[in-house]
Amino acid sequence: MATTPEPSDHQAAWQAGWWQSAQQLPSPNFGPRPPGAEIDLVVIHSISLPPGQYGTGAVQQLFTNQLDWDAHPYYQSIRGLEVSSHFFITRQGVIWQFVSCDDRAWHAGVSQWRGRDRCNDDSIGIELEGLEGLHFDAPQYRALQQLCEAIAAQYPVHYIAGHEHIAPGRKQDPGPGFDWHRLQRQLGGAASTRAWELPSPAV
């Protein structure tokens, strides 16, 4: 009797661009990628709301257009902002997903990398809970490594850059507190099957 073949591990881990190991909270802030877009870039950001405060739930609220603009004075400066990222990693290493990786999240803005403009078109955005210039915690690096490896099993990603690299002068995150050397070492382990290209601080 014929049997249906089992899907590969990485295929089972993804459904329509959603990574099944992440906490899923769909955002309305997304759109289609342009025809022929090659998803080959991961962009790393940092965010905390209010700035420097962690675990408030406000980042999740922002990405789903649920933030109470009157809850903190800082929110008046971003009032009405409609943004998203594909993923958000908390200080404890919990991974949230807001937009299918098959779709275009609104995280990069005006940007350029590897000779291309409009990095939203062909990138996957990952926000780390933190403040630019400050350090990030070990669980976040472990979760980031796991997530990048999972993405690489599903998409032809090759490049990793910070928001500061694709929008220099306009953005400064994740900033000097992010350890690019550490991420390079983690992704370059013996089990790695992907030749990653990271910004110059990591090489």
Residues with a known catalytic role: 127
Q: What is the DSSP letter of 118?
A: -
Q: Distance between CA 203 and CA 185 in Å, rounded?
A: 10
Q: Which pairs from 152-156 meet CB under 8 Å and 24+ separation? A: 152/193, 152/194, 153/10, 153/13, 154/10, 154/11, 154/13, 154/14, 154/101, 155/39, 155/40, 155/101, 155/124, 156/38, 156/39, 156/40
Contact in structure between 91 and 105 (CB atoms under 8 Å): no
- Cβ neighbours of residue 60 closer than 8 Å, sequence gap 6 or more: 25, 66, 88, 96
